[in-house]
Chain A
Amino acid sequence: MTLTLQLAIIVGYLVVALLVGLLAYRVAERTAEDFYLASRTFGTVVLLFTTFATLLSAFTFFAGPNMAYQHGPEWILVMGLMDGIIFAILWYVIGYKQWLLGRQRDYVTLGEMLGDRFGSRGLRGLVAGVSLVWLFPYVMLQQVGAGTALEALTEGAVPYALGAGLITAFMILYVVVAGMRGIAWTDTLQGAFMLVTTWVALLWILAIVDGPTAATAALEAEAAGHLALGSDFYTPQWMLSTAIVIGFGVAMFPQVNQRFFAAGSRTVFKRSFALWPILCVLLFVPSFLLGAWARGLDVTVPEGGNVLPAMLAEFSPAWFAALVIAGAMAAMMSSSDSMLLSGSSYFTRDLYRPYVNADLTERREDLLARVGVVVFATGAFLASLWNPATLFELGDAAFSGFAQLALPVIAALYWRGTTRAGITAGILASQVFYLSSLFVAVVPATYAGWSAGLVGMGVGLLVTVGVSLVTAPAAEERRSIYFEGLRAD
């Protein structure tokens, strides 16, 4: 019964998503700008929720509550600082400036924006290349996740390869048809759905277990140290490293960064910015508290399984648990489709166009973008069948990898003295340093408790500034475009 229900709900969601995609296709223009950015027309609700749903996907439902279950609810603080405050500040510092520049000069990707300012095709290719290197295994991780979840859900009736393949095929179809507009519309439904179901789940379970005081007392009896702020696991260094690195990393994640270009107006930007911390706390608190409380409520979590589904299975009816889990799986897909779309835009705009054929017509670029989605998704799918451990490590490390880009980009946006040589050296140095910390044994992964990701960000900034100070700007650089004549009206 549960199985059929869960599958029916997932299939139901896919059908609804596809209908929304088809609707978006009907109103779309056949241009790359519309396909990638919905012609920069997003309103507050759509921008807010599409960023929200893209940012916070399966992680919020699975990995986060697992962390709270094992180590205590402090994870809420890390996520709140990371997404609610740091990302919101970057929303202004990086996002608003990018939006102004994008509107004025028609940029679609980060690489385009940097390449234009520094007069460098190489830098543009470098930023796109680095982004794709981190994005590819991350897309793959989502496919692996979806394949594994479907296999577990159907108790092996849908084998892993078939599950991952089905999800891939659906995502390709969906992205190719719907583009950014369709993705954003389904994300909006998704974001609202996540919020509502999480709160209903919290209230439902609290009603059964006699309220938060009883749940917390049970947790205290089971794991005494969990309620006190901090532990051997949650050290200040670890909490700050994680929040800072992921917060900055998220702003450079192609699918999130590209949304900076898509706002319809300055007002949309302002409203989304002000609502952001409240929206984050509304989702994190119930979802992670459920994970933490599960520990005291004697919920049996299967080996390698996730705590939230187990908690729901224990305390709520099957149809409701299925609904939440279907939502979580759909969230995973809704993040993946945005990644595919952005990956394809980085490929066409920053690699294909500058290096292969500069004279693409709009319609042809639109077509190429869709072909790019197919190639990227199929490649990631094949890699996910091969399951190489190294790619997994890369996927796990993707947030820190993207974070390495953030400070050189901020330097370029706000400091006139940044030179082409400076930013290029800064990006290369921090990437090499961070990759070495992952794969070269002699380079440590932590420095007095601070993560290599955070240290690498410092290296990137120092090298960018240092090399900029000792080099002269190249003749093709156009320093003024980030600083003069920027205005919203």
Chain B
Amino acid sequence: MQRLEVWGWLVVAVVLSVLAIPWFLWGDATTVVGLPLWLWWHVGWMVLASVVFWVFTRRGWGIGIEPDASRTSPDGTDPRTDAGGDGR
């Protein structure tokens, strides 16, 4: 299960990187409110990246690094610390 999540986030990372530059607008000089359309795309994409990164910090943080990262619950709290009694 964790392996699948790692691959899922890896795909997200690659997509975020690849589309930071809007290749599909190559050669396009359309401007909107004085700025090139491709620049608007980029700005929007960076905001989206921040949102995705934030979601990652809540749901996936530790994945691929901490062996039991998948035990972190979706709301960001760590069940290990809530449960207590695990000797740490």
Which residue numbers of A lie inside 8 Å of B, CB to CB?
73, 76-78, 80-81, 84-86, 88-89, 92, 96-97, 100, 211-216, 220, 227-230, 236, 239, 266, 270-271, 273-278, 280-281, 285, 289, 414, 483-489
Contact = CB atoms under 8 A, between A and B. Distances in A.
6 contacts: A77-B39, A85-B17, A216-B36, A280-B46, A285-B39, A489-B80
A198 to B, nearest CB: 15
B35 A216 contact: yes
A228 B20 contact: no
Nearest to B78: A489
Given A227-B31, A486-B65, A488-B66, A77 B20 contact: yes
Given A88-B53, A230-B26, A276-B53, A285 B43 contact: yes
B7 interface: no
Contacts of B34: 211-216
A217 to B, nearest CB: 8
Interface string B28-46: 1101011110110011001
Nearest to A82: B20
B57 A270 contact: yes
Contacts of B53: 88, 273-274, 276-277
B13 A275 contact: no
A209 to B, nearest CB: 11
Contacts of B27: 228-230
Interface of B: 13, 16-17, 20-23, 25-29, 31, 33-36, 38-39, 42-43, 46-47, 49-50, 53-54, 56-57, 61-62, 64-68, 78, 80-81, 88
A89 B17 contact: yes
Q: Give the top 7 A-B pairs by smallest Cβ distance, nearest first.
A: A212-B34, A213-B34, A228-B29, A270-B57, A274-B54, A81-B20, A277-B49
A98 to B, nearest CB: 10
A81 B17 contact: yes
Contacts of B46: 80, 84-85, 277-278, 280-281
A289 to B, nearest CB: 8
A100 B65 contact: yes
Given A212-B35, A266-B61, A281-B43, 16 more contacts: A73-B36, A77-B39, A78-B21, A84-B20, A85-B20, A100-B66, A211-B34, A216-B36, A229-B26, A230-B27, A273-B53, A273-B57, A277-B49, A414-B64, A483-B67, A489-B81
Q: Which of B25, B54, B62 has most chain A Cβ within 10 Å?
A: B62
A273 to B, nearest CB: 6
A486 B42 contact: no
Contacts of A80: 20, 42, 46
Nearest to B76: A270
B43 A229 contact: no
B43 to A, nearest CB: 6
Nearest to B64: A414
A214 B34 CA distance: 7
A321 B35 CA distance: 25
Contacts of B33: 212-213
Contacts of B80: 489
Contacts of B16: 85, 89
Contacts of B81: 489
A98 B10 CA distance: 19
A179 B22 CA distance: 42
A213 B22 CA distance: 22
Contacts of B68: 487
B26 to A, nearest CB: 5
A75 to B, nearest CB: 11
Contact of B13 (A89, A213, A277, A289): A89
Contacts of A215: 34
A407 to B, nearest CB: 16
Q: Which of B17, B20, B21, B47 has most chain A Cβ within 10 Å?
A: B21
A375 B45 CA distance: 45
B18 to A, nearest CB: 9
Nearest to B17: A85
Nearest to A215: B34
A77 B66 contact: no
A54 B17 CA distance: 23
Contacts of B67: 483-487
Contacts of A216: 31, 34-36
B76 to A, nearest CB: 9
